[in-house]
Amino acid sequence: NAGVTQTPKFQVLKTGQSMTLQCAQDMNHEYMSWYRQDPGMGLRLIHYSVGAGITDQGEVPNGYNVSRSTTEDFPLRLLSAAPSQTSVYFCASSPYTEVGYGYTFGSGTRLTVV
Amino acid sequence: KNQVEQSPQSLIILEGKNCTLQCNYTVSPFSNLRWYKQDTGRGPVSLTIMTFSENTKSNGRYTATLDADTKQSSLHITASQLSDSASYICVVSVILTGGGNKLTFGTGTQLKVEL
């Protein structure tokens, strides 16, 4: 039972480079989301999706793109990496957004932009 | 100011001892409150979820309490073990006008259990 799988676990980018962080879940969850975790701050929502073909912005969407072509996959794209995007990124999924359904988080991608 | 504040920021206790972590929140309208455990280098794992009408919920040696009137929650850990060393994150869910929920995360309490 894989749950939520994120790849890669670690990545170093140069300023201006682009890359895609992968997230896949095998629980048939409708809801998927991307968060970033920075020291001294709580997790902040970047983008989320309530189902295939539907995405929306969270509180810190600038510099990131997402798409949801299948229920299973929700990749996060960094268009032109900046040092401010150095962070740990978590993907999370849930069957619904309503009360009683806890999120399942992936193990994270640690990204450093130099 | 963070709308979900946790205290203390960090805590060191001896194995076998009990401890209580605090969470105060100001976000509204309240939907539910969740406690997560995050081991170093891992994603958060859900411990408890409580709705407005629930005062307490247990998960093994973890017991969460909620006072929705004062907007306070606590997580009590009984008979601590070395494996309890982790960050404990309080997360409050608010109801959005257009439907759905928004999660606001605290910054966590870093707990270290020592021999």
> Which of B44, B101, B104 faces A97 most closely, judged by CB atoms?
B101
Is pLDDT of B74 > 70?
A: yes
**Do the beta carbons of residue B6 and residue B22 sit within 8 Å?**
yes
Q: pLDDT tens for residues A35-59?
A: 999 988 889 999 999 889 999 999 9
**pLDDT-based confidence at residue B99 (cuts at 50, 70, 90):** low
Is pLDDT of B98 > 70?
A: no
The CA distance from B31 to B14, in Å, is 35
Q: pLDDT tens for residues A55-85?
A: 999 999 999 999 999 999 999 999 999 999 9
A106: closest chain B residue by CA = B43
The CA distance from A78 to A76, in Å, is 7
Would the CB atoms of B51 and A90 count as touching at under 8 Å? no
- Name B7's bridge partners: B22
With an 8 Å Cβ cutoff, is A34 touching chain B?
A: no
With an 8 Å Cβ cutoff, is B87 touching chain A?
A: no
Would the CB atoms of B43 and A40 count as touching at under 8 Å? no
Question: What pLDDT score does A5 carry?
Answer: 96
Q: pLDDT tens for residues B22-60?
A: 999 998 888 889 999 999 999 999 999 998 889 999 999
The CA distance from A61 to A52, in Å, is 19
Q: What is the mean pLDDT of chain A?
A: 92
**Do the beta carbons of residue B26 and residue B20 sit within 8 Å?**
no
